[in-house]
Amino acid sequence: VLALVSKPAYDPNLFVQGISTANYQSILAAPGRPLFNRALLGGYEPGSTIKPFIGLAGLELGVIGKDDRVFSNGRFFLPGLEKPFRDWRKGGHGWVNIYGALEQSVNTYFYKLALELGIDRMHDYLAQFGFGAASGLDLLGENAGVLPSRAWKRGQLGQPWYPGETISVSIGQGAVSVTPIALATMMATVANGGTLVTPHLVRAI
């Protein structure tokens, strides 16, 4: 790891010789909770950064082909519902394959793909990249984030899973959450050709 940043920050030199009660209380009372390391502990919706992983799941599980096209008119309807799930671009993007869907971040493409995959297959595929798990960085207390599934929701809330929730997860919203360090690790896995590495702060001893 070449850079690891959490803001707002505090002066770590205050801790070197033992921090005074007054200084420690001032850090605790500071706005923005500077002692909360957002890079390791913050759970955030990944948004459209999840789309490459959803696309890979579709390709590797044979749900889509690389040249298969879907027409995006800006709206997507679940069966039996009148309220649409919308794309970010009014009127949609026209005909797109997986390349165009990623280049233009076409929400409706991933809505359709996610419904065909189903949340449990999405869960199992995304878990291979580290979603829902700590990255293993050599600092204590890292958050694991949340990778939802039918079983997860039953266990957490005692409720069934709904198709609209699958659609939300497909664009990185809803119940799914990641830490910045975990997301950086997962994106590096895509960039380096598929090898999931454990990040470290120390290069060598």
| Active-site residue set | 48
Q: For residue 113, what are the contacts with CB-CB under 8 A and spacing of at least 6?
A: 54, 55, 58, 63, 64, 170
Nearest alpha carbon to residue 188 among 175, 197, 176: 197
Strand partners of residue 178: 44
The pair phi, psi for residue 8, each rounded to 5°, is -70, 160
Strand partners of residue 72: 94
Residue matched to tokens 């419904």:
115
Do the Cβ atoms of 150 and 194 come closer than 8 Å?
no
Residue 3 one-letter amino acid: A
- How far is it, in rounded angstroms, from Cα 3 to Cα 17? 25
Do the Cβ atoms of 188 and 125 come closer than 8 Å?
no
